[in-house]
Amino acid sequence: MSRTARLVLSVVGLLAVVVIGALAYIWVSAGSGEASGDISAPTLEAQFEDAVDAGDNRILFEIVPEESQVRFLIDEVLRGQPKRVIGRTNQVAGQVLVSFDSPQNSEVGPIRVNVRTLVTDDEFRNRAIRGQILQSQRDEFEFAQFTPTEISGLPESITMGTPFTFTIQGDLQIRDITRPVTFEARVTPISEDRIHGTATAQVLRSDYGLEIPRVPGVADVSNEVDLEIEFIAQAVDPGA
């Protein structure tokens, strides 16, 4: 074997070791993906109590995680083929204070998501998300939170079973970075103690410093990320 051939083989072998080492690091550094505890979010209970004291008939609703889902959607090229990646979790919490008589007096509380529990259709990708991208295996980055600052477009009246749309502006925190984000929401009041809703927004990975690790077969991951939440919220009585 010539000296050049030996050199080429040595370089190839070194690159293989580096790639295998990088893949192994991504795999083992991601943690278990298990939540540290039950999901919860800052509440609107103080506002609800003030409403009760003032004779306001607003109703406090709480998201039911078991019947809800948060998703992200992002495009990539996987092994030369375009792919739409969807990550999901039902670990979401938040409260909504609804006035059926005067909808414009309604409020949306902070929405918190345990991003450590996000899963896609590929376990290696899941581990890359937890360990390298969102770094949600770290306790300080386990949760993302959307804190509403303004609601616009609420209707003047609500009819049971009829959906209505509105816009929620707020601040979305992912890891240690917070950016303003606007969600387009659609809510259907199923009854006076149960509502169904969806909300969508688009963010940029670059706004949150979310870098994709270099791994074989993955290319051209889009900067745009679509966010979706679909939820069921049930009326609750904090004093019960």
The first and second tokens of residue 84, run together, are: 């739409």
Specify the fold of 31-235.
Lipocalin (2.40.128)
List, in order, residues 6 or more apart from 93 with CB less than 8 Å away: 39, 40, 41, 62, 63, 65, 111, 112
Among candidate residues 105, 108, 83, 78, the one with its CA nearest the CA of residue 195? 108
Residue 216 corresponds to which amino acid?
P
Domain limits, the chain = 31-235
Which residue reads 């899963």 in tokens?
Answer: 119
List, in order, residues 6 or more apart from 181 with CB less than 8 Å away: 146, 169, 170, 171, 172, 201, 203, 227
Q: What is the pTM of this model?
A: 0.86
Among candidate residues 83, 86, 92, the one with its CA nearest the CA of residue 72? 86
> pLDDT digit of tens for each residue in the chain (240 aa)?
555 544 444 444 433 333 333 334 343 355 679 999 999 999 999 998 988 787 788 999 999 999 999 999 999 998 889 999 999 999 999 999 999 999 999 999 999 999 999 999 999 999 999 999 999 999 999 999 999 999 999 999 999 999 999 999 999 999 999 999 999 999 999 999 999 999 999 999 999 999 998 877 788 899 999 999 999 999 998 766
SS (H, E, C) 90-157: CCEECEEEECCCCHHHCEECCEEEEHHHCECCCHHHHHHHHHHHCCCCCHHHCEEEEEEEEEECCCCC
CA distance 190 to 187: 9
